[in-house]
Amino acid sequence: MTSGPWEPGEVDEPVTRQVDALLQQHHPGRRLRLAGSPYVDLPSHVVEAITASVSARGYTPSLGDPGLRQAIAASLQARGPKVKAARVLVTNGAMHALDLVFRAVLQPGDEVLMAKPGFFIGGLVRRAGARLVQFPSDPDDGFRPAWTEAAAMLSPRTKILYVNTPVNPTGYVYDDRDLAAAADLAWRAGLVLVSDESLAGFVYGGRRHKSPADPAGGDFTSVLVGSFSKDYALPGLRVGFAALPESLFPRVSALLEWSVLCVSRPAQAAALAALTGPRDWLDQMVTDAGARGARLASALGAIPGLSCVAPMGGLNVFPEFDGDAERLARDIIVGFGVPVAPGSAFGVDGNFRLQFGGVPGDLDLAVTRIKTAAAREYSRDLVAENP
């Protein structure tokens, strides 16, 4: 996504920065407290871990706190992947992990293949000198990736297959069919499969998160990237990780050491406490999010001109508008102060993303404002069609 309100410019900016700029320009007062991460009070054991770590001296190990690396590996092993603590690298959030992996694998002119709509990784890919190639997903099947079409888009320069489950922005959750298709594609084409599982904790309706990656095994090279921002409600502390195969670990770890040296000690202490401490607050957070996402999809789907698939996971909905969705997204932001993102930022037109982490009351207010904005845009389109 480039600068301007969805227009090309000199500076390559994430769409979230563009939305923030529009909100600051047109609504400089109180913002709606909506986010892609939960708004919850941190439990005492996490707060105490942060406080206790502040007085410690010296840098942390560049690869990450050994206890945290071991805990991350154990948590991933419980989900299935054969992850070794010695191959876990602690990073400044999942975006940092993706950046390091892309720079370690890609050469100028290479290509990264991913499904659309999908998380806006284009800026990271371009900074590695590579090109993003996107294949479609089927909205009539909950936005399942169209794996057959993915294979048709391969080229000799394709080096990475990027997958993301639960999918940001659609809320789709990969099942066994998707895992098999992704693995087959990566194996047959000799690709590095990079699996972004930053929302793995938020899966609803009795489903279970299944990882497409297995960094220590399998017939193809894979990387598993995760984050504490969503699953453990620690977005401001910026802690993520990459679980890497032996072949990539030296290159990726060297890039980390020569860029940031290490991740903050208090941030890692918070992550370790959240990961190994009581889970009641985390379970409640996910239960609340699942109910909130279902209610939100229903409320948006009841608005004339809008339709919305209930999310299987994650903290986003991706409603479709029967009209000019790009114009509607801008109007929702500029005219009504609601932080949405246009579908074009994720590779498609006709939709916009609304995140439902945050304050429930503000989410209700956002729905009311979107209803007003959609009615105005829908009426404008009807008049244009029937002058």
Report whether 40 contacts 285 (CB < 8 A): yes
The answer to whether the CB of 174 falls within 8 A of the CB of 163 is: yes
Residue 80: which pLDDT band, with cuts at 50, 70 and 90?
confident
Position 3 scores a pLDDT of: 38
Q: Hey, which residues does 243 pair with through a beta bridge? A: 88, 224
Confidence band for 295, pLDDT divided at 50, 70 and 90: very high
Answer whether residue 299 shows pLDDT above 50.
yes
Judge whether residue 167 has pLDDT over 60: yes
Domains of the chain: 15-40+280-385 (3.90.1150.10), 44-276 (3.40.640.10)
Q: Element (H or E) spanning 139, and its range? A: none
What's the pLDDT tens digit per position in 187-196?
Answer: 999 999 999 9
Q: Which residue has the higher pLDDT, 99 or 382?
A: 99
Q: To which H or E segment does residue 61 belong?
A: none
Answer with the residue of higher pLDDT: 363 or 383.
363
Note the pLDDT tens digit of each residue in 20-42. Answer: 999 999 999 888 999 999 999 99
- Per the listing, tokens 């990882």 go with 211
Q: What is the pLDDT of residues 208-232, one digit of tens each?
A: 999 999 898 778 999 999 999 999 9
The rounded mean pLDDT for the chain is: 93
Q: What pLDDT is recorded for position 219?
A: 80
Task: Specify the 3-state DSSP secondary structure of 159.
Answer: strand
Confidence of residue 133 (pLDDT cuts 50, 70, 90): very high
**Alpha carbon distances (Å) from 87 to 160, 246, 269:** 19, 7, 20
